[in-house]
Structure 1
Amino acid sequence: MLTVLGVDYTGVDPSSPCFTCSQTYSWNSSTPCRCSVAFSLDQPFESNVFMYYGLSNFYQNHRRYVKSRDDSQLNGDVASLKNPSKECEPYRSQQDKPIAPCGAIANSLFNDTLELFYIDSNGSRTQIPLVKKGIAWWTDKHVKFRNPNGNVSNLTVAFQGTTKPVNWHKYVYKLDSDPDNNGFINEDFIVWMRTAALPTFRKLYRIIQKKSNMTPTLPRGNYTLDVTYNYLVRSFDGRKRMILSTISWMGGKNPFLGIAYITVGSISFFLGVVLLIVHHKYGNRNNSTDIPN
Structure 2
Amino acid sequence: MELKKSTAIKLSLAVYIALTLVFLIVGIIEISRTKHGIKTNTKRYLINYTDCKNNLDDEQTCAQYLNKNINGDCKCDINFKLNEDYKGNVTLYYELDRYKETFGPLFNSSDSSQWSGMLVIPPSDMCQPYQYANTSEGLKPIVPCGALADAMFNDTFRLFNTKMQIQMDEIDLICDAERDKYKNPVNIDAVNNFTKPVNWQKSIWDIGQENSTGFLSDKFIIWMDTNVHPKPVAKVRKIADFENGLPKDDYHFKIFYSNITNGLPFLRRKTNENEPKENPPEEAKPLDRERTNRNI
Same fold by TM-score, threshold 0.5 exceeded?
yes
3-state secondary structure, aligned to 2:201: coil
3-state secondary structure, aligned to 1:72: helix
Distance in 2 between the 1:128 and 1:3 partners? 19
| Letter paired with 1:107 | D
- Larger gyration radius, structure 1 or structure 2: 1
CA RMSD of aligned residues (A): 2.9
Give the structure 1 partner of residue 83 of structure 2: 42
Query: After superposition, what is the alpha-carbon deviation per residue over 1:223-275, rounded to whole angstroms, capped at 9, x for unaligned?
Result: 0011001011126569xxxxxxxxxxxxxxxxxxxxxxxxxxxxxxxxxxxxx
| Letter paired with 1:38 | N
| Letter paired with 1:147 | N
Give the structure 2 partner of residue 186 of structure 1: 217
Give the structure 1 partner of residue 47 of structure 2: 7
Matched, 1:69 2:110: yes
Matched, 1:85 2:94: no
| Letter paired with 1:90 | P
Give the structure 1 partner of residue 164 of structure 2: 126
Residue 147 of structure 1: which of 171, 184, 191 is its match?
184
Give the structure 2 partner of residue 282 of structure 1: none
Query: After superposition, what is the alpha-carbon deviation per residue over 1:106-147, rounded to whole angstroms, capped at 9, x for unaligned?
Result: 00111101111011xxxxx31111121111231232x21111
Give the structure 2 partner of residue 135 of structure 1: 173
3-state secondary structure, aligned to 1:35: strand
Give the structure 1 partner of residue 198 of structure 2: 166
Scaled by the length of structure 2, what TM-score is found?
A: 0.66
Give the structure 2 partner of residue 52 of structure 1: 93
Query: After superposition, what is the alpha-carbon deviation per residue over 1:12-61, rounded to whole angstroms, capped at 9, x for unaligned?
Result: 789x96952110123422xx311111000011111111110111023368
Q: Which has the higher strand share?
A: 2
The aligned length equals 219
Change (3 A) 1:206 1:214: closer
3-state secondary structure, aligned to 2:230: strand
Residue 154 of structure 2: which of 111, 115, 126 is its match?
111
For residue 209 of structure 1, report the CA deviation from its aligned partner. 4.2
CA contact (8 A) 1:97 1:161 kept: yes
Point out 4+ residue stretches in structure 1 off by more than 4 angstroms: 16-19, 60-63, 211-216, 235-238
Residue 259 of structure 2: which of 212, 231, 235 is its match?
231
Change (3 A) 1:18 1:6: farther
Distance in 1 between the 2:173 and 2:243 partners? 24
Give the structure 1 partner of residue 140 of structure 2: 97
For residue 99 of structure 1, report the CA deviation from its aligned partner. 0.5
Distance in 2 between the 1:227 and 1:108 partners? 19
For residue 176 of structure 1, report the CA deviation from its aligned partner. 3.9
Distance in 1 between the 2:75 and 2:233 partners? 18
Change (3 A) 1:126 1:73: same
Give the structure 2 partner of residue 22 of structure 1: 63
Query: After superposition, what is the alpha-carbon deviation per residue over 1:179-219, rounded to whole angstroms, capped at 9, x for unaligned?
Result: x222111110110000148xxx4101111244479974211
Percent of aligned positions that are identical:
30
CA contact (8 A) 1:69 1:88 kept: yes
Matched, 1:222 2:250: yes
Q: Which has the higher helix share?
A: 1
Query: After superposition, what is the alpha-carbon deviation per residue over 1:66-109, rounded to whole angstroms, capped at 9, x for unaligned?
Result: 11010111111132xx3210011011111221100001110011
Distance in 1 between the 2:144 and 2:181 partners? 14
| Letter paired with 2:44 | V
Distance in 2 between the 1:214 and 1:161 partners? 44
CA contact (8 A) 1:27 1:167 kept: no
CA contact (8 A) 2:94 2:232 kept: yes
* Unaligned segments of structure 1, at least 5 residues: 120-124, 239-293
